């Protein structure tokens, strides 16, 4: 194989990573045919929808990239076997959630989808196929993949007629909401492997738009472990700053001032020091728990405990915020209306996986709150699934407590705008840093609320002076003065 031989790529998994990553590869490499395949028919239909606002993943700029390449050299389909057979490089970009039962439940990654892919590739591949782990995987998963591939196709003496495989690790570092920028201008691309030709073939794909010095080559295990470690380090910074935020609140310090003071130290750096309601997203918690599991597995309980504390602090921060809302509202939210602004785990995405809003909303529902939820991108059906509770119909803004409210049963309903959500509320709780929440007219909103009313700003996006002018009480994460 020469490094220029990649002509056909198949990506198994058309999710948050597979879809955008392959769209950018197809956009930047017009001579490579890219097939993105998935078992989920409705997801594939959405990727093929002529209306680009219906793509299954919301990412700024994604529609433009997909519109340039789709139908030319970017294709979405459910024909998994055929796409594998046709490809000279197969990316595995399927979900690897935390196991919910069995050995390692609650910590280890559930690799059933990855293994199913490996078996399918083993069955369908033809000629030499480079198999690329794009999913985030525990260290040494490549051994399992290789074993499955080789068991199905033992090498035969006549190399020209045999089916053969190289396995590479190429973890993805994109963050949701900035996926297209991250893919088009990555800090680095990491390729782990032992087969130099395969590594160079993949490097050549990225070389279409990524400067050579940003393409790092390592062994397989370093690459797999680097992905888990990168997420663990990022999440650790958030837990660290959130722990300091709690200290700021009781000492009169301001976490933003502290973050700036420490972040200007070039050894610490300023990024990922934003205190908030804790990290969400599909990966931070899952990947740290995986690291915890691996550490135990390899007989390193102290290492496991160290990383476990990052997750524990995060959970604590979320419960701390819901407790604080209850305490400030005279010790009870039963029957009270609380507006949640934002449900996605961060701004500029419709993804709610592990969103802090889920745990906080559940706590408040448990306390009997009536939640009006507004998020510019999250569908109400998704919120209902996350809360495991169907939406109620919205009561009239000024109506007294409903029967359900008086019985202490928590309910929620979706709102179409901030004004609608806030009407009749005792408190507003900001959980996602959507830009539109930075510019709210608090004087008008205050006139719609039941007084005395609170603003709980878990993302520190409001202007405290404007909230005070509106006669509202304010709690801001990490603000010892609020
Ligand atoms: P996702 O759940 O959005 O998408 C995975 C897709 O794989 C689903 O559509 C599912 O139907 C499909 N799938 C599963 N098994 C299949 C099979 N055998 N054949 C065909 N399709 C199959 O997941 P995601 O967020 O794209 O994450 C994928 C991987 O990338 C995970 O390992 C994750 O940890 C990692 N990752 C995610 C992000 C992120 O921002 N979401 C970033 C970096 C890495
Ligand atoms: C994260 C990493 O940033 C990516 O590099 C990685 O590829 C990805 O996980 C993954 O493996 O899935 P993502 O979860 O999409 O990306 O988003 P982040 O921007 O990292 O935010 C994660 C969570 O941390 C969000 O809930 C965000 O609000 C929170 N956060 C982030 C803070 O609370 N404070 C900060 O300063 C930064």
Q: Give the tens place of pLDDT for each residue, 88-116.
A: 999 999 999 999 999 999 999 999 999 99
pLDDT tens, position by position, 132-182? 999 999 888 999 999 999 888 765 545 555 789 999 999 999 999 999 999
> Please, what are the domains in the chain?
8-218 (3.40.50.720), 314-476 (3.40.50.720)
Return the pLDDT at 401: 62
DSSP string, 402-428: -HHHHTT--EEEE-SSHHHHHTT-SEE
Q: How far is the CA of 231 from the centre of ligand 2 (A)?
A: 8
Cα distance between residue 83 and residue 9, in whole Å: 8
Q: pLDDT grade, residue 329 (50/70/90)?
A: very high
Strand intervals (E) in 101-209: 128-133, 164-169, 189-192
Q: pLDDT grade, residue 399 (50/70/90)?
A: low
Q: pLDDT grade, residue 86 (50/70/90)?
A: very high
Return the pLDDT at 481: 81
**Residue 149 and residue 122 in contact, taking contact as beta carbons nearer than 8 Å:** yes
* Mutate-to-test residue for ligand 1 from 45, 95, 119, highest number of ligand atoms within 8 A of CB: 95
Q: pLDDT grade, residue 403 (50/70/90)?
A: low
Give the whole-number percent of the chain exceeding pLDDT 70: 95
Structure tokens at 208: 């279409």
Return the pLDDT at 273: 98
Return the pLDDT at 309: 98
What atom of ligand 1 comes closest to residue 40's alpha carbon? 11
Strand intervals (E) in 255-381: 337-341, 370-374
Atom 4 of ligand 2: nearest residue by CA position? 175
Give the residue among 207, 226, 272 at the shortest CA–CA distance from 133: 226
Preceding amide of 452 cis, omega within 30? yes
Mean pLDDT within 233-262: 98
Q: Name the DSSP class of 352.
A: -
pLDDT tens, position by position, 12-45? 999 999 999 999 999 999 999 999 999 999 999 9
Q: Name the DSSP class of 474.
A: E
Q: Which residue in the list 133, 172, 176, 367 is annotated as catalytic?
A: 172
Return the pLDDT at 398: 60
Cα distance between residue 227 and residue 234, in whole Å: 11
Cα distance between residue 107 and residue 285, in whole Å: 9
**Residue 333 and residue 401 in contact, taking contact as beta carbons nearer than 8 Å:** no
Q: pLDDT grade, residue 327 (50/70/90)?
A: very high
Return the pLDDT at 407: 77
> Three-state SS for 164?
strand
What is the overall mean pLDDT for the chain?
A: 94
Mean pLDDT within 44-53: 96
133-162: burial string, b at 16+ Cβ within 10 Å, e else: bbbbbbbebbebbbebbeebeeeeeeeeee
Q: Which ligand is located closest to the Cα atom of residue 232?
A: 2
Structure tokens at 161: 């007629």
Return the pLDDT at 400: 60
pLDDT at 318 > cutoff 70: yes
Structure tokens at 182: 């991250």
Q: Which residue in the list 134, 227, 336, 346 is annotated as catalytic?
A: 227
Pairing of strands 164-169, 454-457: unpaired
260 is catalytic: no
Q: Which residues line ligand 2 (CB under 6 A)?
A: 136, 172-176, 231, 234, 238, 272-274, 276, 279-284, 345-346
CB-based contacts of 162, cutoff 8 Å, min separation 6: 153, 155, 156
Return the pLDDT at 404: 62
Q: How far is the CA of 68 from the centre of ligand 1 (A)?
A: 23
Q: How far is the CA of 136 from the centre of ligand 1 (A)?
A: 9
Structure tokens at 432: 């996602």
What atom of ligand 1 comes closest to residue 287's alpha carbon? 34
Cα distance between residue 312 and residue 259, in whole Å: 22
* Mutate-to-test residue for ligand 2 from 279, 320, 458, highest number of ligand atoms within 8 A of CB: 279
Terminus-to-terminus CA distance in the chain, angstroms? 64
Cα distance between residue 345 and residue 353, in whole Å: 7
Sequence-ordered alpha helix ranges (H) in 329-417: 356-366, 380-387, 403-406
Atom 2 of ligand 1: nearest residue by CA position? 95
Return the pLDDT at 154: 61
377 is catalytic: no
Return the pLDDT at 1: 46
Cα distance between residue 233 and residue 235, in whole Å: 6
pLDDT at 457 > cutoff 80: yes
What are the CA-CA distances from residue 458 to residues 239, 310, 321, 379 (Å)? 14, 19, 8, 22
**Residue 278 and residue 246 in contact, taking contact as beta carbons nearer than 8 Å:** no
Q: How far is the CA of 321 from the centre of ligand 2 (A)?
A: 20
What atom of ligand 1 comes closest to residue 16's alpha carbon? 26
> Three-state SS for 49?
coil
- Tell me the longest C-alpha to C-alpha distance in the chain: 82
Q: How far is the CA of 106 from the centre of ligand 1 (A)?
A: 19
Q: What angle do CA 471, 476, 480 make, to 5 degrees?
A: 105
| Length of the chain counted residue by residue | 482
Q: Which residues line ligand 1 (CB under 6 A)?
A: 12-18, 37-40, 43, 80, 93-96, 113, 116-117, 135-136, 172, 174, 176, 282-283
Cα distance between residue 229 and residue 296, in whole Å: 16
CB-based contacts of 41, cutoff 8 Å, min separation 6: 78
Q: How far is the CA of 162 from the centre of ligand 2 (A)?
A: 43
Strand order of the β-sheet with 215-218 is: 74-77, 33-37, 8-12, 89-92, 128-133, 164-169, 189-192, 215-218
What atom of ligand 1 comes closest to residue 173's alpha carbon? 43
* Mutate-to-test residue for ligand 1 from 283, 286, 288, highest number of ligand atoms within 8 A of CB: 283
Q: How far is the CA of 379 from the centre of ligand 1 (A)?
A: 20
pLDDT tens, position by position, 198-246? 999 999 999 999 999 999 999 999 999 999 999 999 999 999 999 999 9
pLDDT tens, position by position, 112-138? 999 999 999 999 999 999 999 999 998
Cα distance between residue 379 and residue 186, in whole Å: 30
């Amino acid at each position: 194989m020469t490094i220029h031989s990649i002509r056909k790529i198949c990506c198994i998994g058309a999710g948050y990573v597979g879809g955008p990553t392959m769209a950018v590869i197809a956009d930047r490499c017009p001579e490579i045919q890219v097939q993105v395949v998935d078992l989920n028919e409705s997801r594939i239909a959405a990727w093929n929808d002529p209306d680009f606002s219906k793509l299954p993943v919301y990412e700024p700029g994604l529609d433009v990239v997909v519109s340039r390449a789709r139908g030319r050299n970017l294709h979405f389909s459910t024909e998994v076997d055929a796409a594998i057979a046709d490809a000279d490089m197969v990316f595995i970009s399927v979900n690897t959630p935390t196991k919910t039962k069995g050995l390692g439940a609650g910590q280890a990654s559930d690799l059933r989808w990855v293994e199913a892919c490996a078996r399918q590739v083993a069955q369908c591949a033809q000629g030499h196929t480079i198999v690329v782990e794009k999913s985030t995987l525990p260290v040494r998963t490549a051994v399992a993949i290789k074993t499955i591939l080789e068991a199905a196709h033992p090498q035969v003496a006549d190399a020209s007629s045999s089916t053969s495989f190289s396995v590479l690790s190429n973890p993805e570092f994109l963050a949701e909401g900035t996926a297209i920028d991250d893919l088009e201008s990555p800090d680095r691309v990491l390729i782990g492997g032992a087969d130099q030709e395969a590594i160079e073939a993949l490097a050549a794909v990225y070389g279409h738009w990524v400067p050579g010095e940003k393409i790092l080559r390592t062994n397989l295990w370093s690459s797999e472990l680097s992905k888990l470690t990168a997420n663990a380090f990022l999440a650790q910074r958030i837990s660290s700053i959130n722990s300091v935020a709690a200290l700021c609140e009781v000492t009169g310090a301001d976490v933003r001032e502290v973050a700036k003071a420490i972040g200007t130290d070039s050894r610490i750096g300023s990024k990922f020091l934003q205190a908030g309601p804790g990290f969400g997203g599909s990966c931070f918690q899952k990947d740290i728990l995986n690291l915890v599991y691996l550490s135990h597995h390899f007989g390193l309980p102290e290492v496991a405990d160290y990383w476990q504390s990052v997750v524990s602090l995060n959970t604590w921060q979320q419960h701390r915020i819901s407790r604080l809302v209850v305490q400030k509202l005279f010790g009870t939210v039963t029957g009270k209306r609380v507006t949640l602004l934002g449900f996605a785990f961060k701004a500029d995405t419709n993804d709610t996986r592990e969103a802090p809003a889920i745990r906080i909303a559940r706590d408040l529902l448990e306390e009997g709150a009536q939640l009006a939820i507004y998020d510019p991108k999250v569908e109400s059906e998704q919120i209902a699934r996350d809360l495991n509770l169907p939406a109620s119909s919205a009561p009239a803004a000024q109506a007294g407590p409903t029967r359900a409210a008086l019985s202490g049963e928590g309910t929620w309903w979706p709102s179409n705008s901030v004004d609608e959500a806030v009407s009749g509320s005792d408190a507003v709780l900001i959980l996602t840093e959507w830009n539109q929440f930075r510019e709210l007219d608090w004087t008008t909103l205050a006139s719609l609320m039941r007084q005395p009313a609170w603003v709980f700003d878990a993302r520190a996006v409001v202007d405290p002076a404007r909230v005070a002018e509106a006669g509202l009480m304010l709690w801001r994460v990490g603000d010892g003065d609020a």
